[in-house]
Amino acid sequence: MTLEKLASAIQNNVIGGLRGATVNLPFTIEQIEDSIVNERMQIIKEYAAKNIIPINDLTYSIRCIEIDCESLDRCPCKEEALPLLKHFEIPQIFTEFGANGIEFVGSTDGRFKYKVYTNNAWQNHRNKRRGADKPYVWIDTTPNKNNRLDGFIFNCPSALDMLLVRLIPKDVRQIDYTCCSDEEQHNISFIDNEIERRLTEKFMRWYRQAVPPITPNDQTVK
């Protein structure tokens, strides 16, 4: 289910579990969605540490990553900026999976895949004996001012204006591109059930601890 549906399911579970009590939930759908994102990251890290997580169940495809031009220093206030390069932005990714954090960057038809670097090794690509003149990509894994990641394309084909990217996002809410409908934004996996179970238990436990029990009125002043 999508993030919104999962948040609604958790909210309904909590209300149903507190049936018979006066329920005035002190948390909103937006707070539940924030908790879902955090719990998802925690679960993924737990299962990744055990090496039992299906990578394909976490991957999302974005087929309309727009390309613009940007300098590597990304500082327009400098008098002598570096030359402009083909540039794009993507959601933040799980770096714990190494190369699998970004499975594919290339043409929108999926025919041409570019070499992707997420470290300083991209600086040595031009010295390779083979493939030095082919397109390659460097992803800066430090979030930018838009809270996303910058990508730069070297040896970029002049006609290229859009990319296909397959990645494992930290926050699925960042997959907010016009080419992604609500149905396309969700990759069904067992993690949804785990998130729903854990957060339902956490919210109910928190609610019961935060709300004092109802006691009978014995008509005395305390």
* pLDDT string in tens for the chain (222-residue length): 688 889 999 988 888 877 655 556 667 889 999 999 999 999 998 988 888 888 888 889 998 899 999 888 877 666 566 788 899 999 999 887 877 789 999 999 999 999 999 998 998 998 888 888 899 999 999 999 999 999 999 998 888 889 999 999 999 899 888 775 545 556 677 889 999 999 999 988 887 776 555 555 555 655
Closest CA to 174 of 141, 137, 146: 146
Cα torsion for 60, 183, 196, 165, to the nearest 10°?
Answer: 10
Place of tokens 């396309």: 184
Q: How remote is the C-alpha of 153 from its chain's centroid?
A: 22
13-21 LR contacts (CB < 8 Å, sep 24+): 13/196, 13/200, 14/200, 14/203, 14/204, 14/207, 17/200, 17/204, 18/204, 18/207, 18/208, 21/211, 21/214
Q: What is the pLDDT of residue 190?
A: 83
Query: What residues form DSSP beta bridges with 68?
Result: 87
CA separation (Å) from 133 to 126, 150, 152, 153?
7, 22, 15, 12
Q: How far apart are CA 118 and CA 140, in angstroms?
A: 6
Q: What is the pLDDT of residue 74?
A: 78
The DSSP secondary-structure symbol of 161 reads -
Cα torsion for 169, 171, 172, 173, to the nearest 10°?
Answer: -140
